[in-house]
């Protein structure tokens, strides 16, 4: 028996109500996680994202990419993105996420944060093209970053840390009731890659 086994309890629901968030902790060895971080940096067609802030279009430093089973279209901020075909690494990671979470996914949004100064503002992932209440599996590589949830009505907050090579799943009515964000942190100098596997309703 290991008394110092801090392995994540994947059955724990991190949300107190109105949704389900499970954290699986590290699902890859350090070596495998390093390998995927490096190969994703090289093989993914990273592009700067466009965001509208107070009605003004700005190009974010954060980079994004969009892959899927089919050339799904994804429209926001007046730009339409078409999903690219899976790469070898993404297919392997999709299978890992499916096996661990017991769900299936047909697309993946990738984010590259060059340092802690880049983050993602409060939002929920409930675009009309996404399957309603579909599970979203999030794999993280690189810098360990804080991830936060805020209830839309009560403003209750839940915070957690996403480790290198870790898996998180958000499911059920989570996106209807909770916002999430990746807060910026001036203390973090290294990059982070995040993959969110989703289901586009066909």
Ligand X SMILES: O=C(O)CCC(=O)C(=O)O
The residues of the shown chain that bind Fe ion, judged by CB under 5 A, are 125
Q: Does 180 bind ligand X (CB under 6 A)?
A: yes
For residue 61, what are the CA distances in angstroms to 42, 100, 116, 131, 149?
18, 32, 12, 29, 23
Number of residues that bind ligand X (CB under 6 A): 11
Q: Which does 194 bind (CB under 5 to 8 A by kind): ligand X, Fe ion, none?
A: ligand X
Give first-to-last CA distance, the chain, whole Å: 47
Q: Retrieve residue 49's tokens.
A: 């994202």
For residue 121, what are the CA distances in angstroms to 109, 124, 134, 200?
16, 10, 21, 22
Q: Does 138 bind ligand X (CB under 6 A)?
A: yes
103/108 Cα distance (integer angstroms): 14
Q: Does 127 bind ligand X (CB under 6 A)?
A: no
157/163 Cα distance (integer angstroms): 20
Q: Does 125 bind ligand X (CB under 6 A)?
A: yes
Choice between 107 and 138, CB closer to ligand X:
138
Instruction: By CB under 6 A, name the one of 196, 197, 199, 200 that touches ligand X.
Output: 196
Report DSSP state, residue 174: H
84/188 Cα distance (integer angstroms): 31
The residue number with the shortest CB distance to ligand X is: 194
Instruction: By CB under 6 A, name the one of 27, 33, 83, 120 that touches ligand X.
Output: 120
Minimum distance from residue 56 beta carbon to ligand X (Å): 21
Q: Which does 112 bind (CB under 5 to 8 A by kind): Fe ion, ligand X, none?
A: none
Minimum distance from residue 153 beta carbon to ligand X (Å): 20
Q: Which residues bind ligand X (CB under 6 A)?
A: 109, 111, 120, 125, 138, 147, 162, 180, 182, 194, 196
């Amino acid at each position: 028996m290991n008394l110092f086994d801090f392995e994540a309890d994947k059955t724990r629901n991190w949300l107190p109500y109105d949704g389900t968030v499970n954290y699986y902790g590290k699902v890859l060895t350090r070596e495998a996680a390093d390998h995927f971080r490096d190969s994703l940096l090289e093989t993914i067609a990273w592009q700067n994202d466009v965001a509208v802030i107070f009605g003004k279009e700005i190009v974010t430093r954060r980079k994004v990419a969009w892959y899927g089973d089919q050339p799904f279209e994804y429209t926001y901020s007046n730009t339409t993105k078409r999903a690219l075909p899976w790469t070898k690494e993404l297919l392997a990671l999709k299978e890992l996420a499916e096996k661990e979470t017991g769900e299936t996914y047909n697309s993946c949004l990738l984010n590259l944060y060059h340092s802690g100064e880049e983050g993602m503002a409060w939002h929920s992932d409930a675009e009309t093209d996404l399957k309603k209440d579909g599970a979203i599996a999030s794999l993280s590589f690189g810098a360990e970053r804080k991830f936060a949830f805020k209830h839309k009505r009560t403003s209750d907050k839940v915070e957690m840390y996403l480790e290198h090579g870790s898996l998180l799943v958000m499911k059920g009515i989570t996106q209807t009731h909770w916002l999430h964000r990746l807060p910026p942190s001036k203390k973090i100098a290294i990059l982070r890659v995040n993959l969110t596997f989703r289901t586009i309703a066909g």
